[in-house]
Amino acid sequence: MSTTLSDSLIPGEPAPAAPPAMLAPATALRILCRRTGGTLSKATFYRWISDGRIRSVRLGKHILIPFPVLEDFIRQCWDED
The CA–CA distances, whole Å, from 19 to 14, 26, 31, 41, 66 equal 15, 20, 19, 29, 9
pTM of the predicted model, to two decimals? 0.70
The pLDDT value recorded for residue 68 is 93
The tens digit of pLDDT for each residue in 9-55 reads: 567 767 667 666 999 999 999 999 998 888 899 999 999 999 999 99
Q: How are beta strands 62-66 and 57-59 bridged, if at all?
A: antiparallel
Instruction: Classify the C-alpha dihedral 48-74-19-17 as positive or negative.
Output: positive
Q: For residue 54, how many other CB atoms are within 10 A of its CB?
A: 20
Q: What pLDDT score does 72 carry?
A: 93
Higher pLDDT among residues 43 and 4, named by residue: 43
51-78 per-position pLDDT tens digit: 999 999 999 999 999 999 999 999 988 7
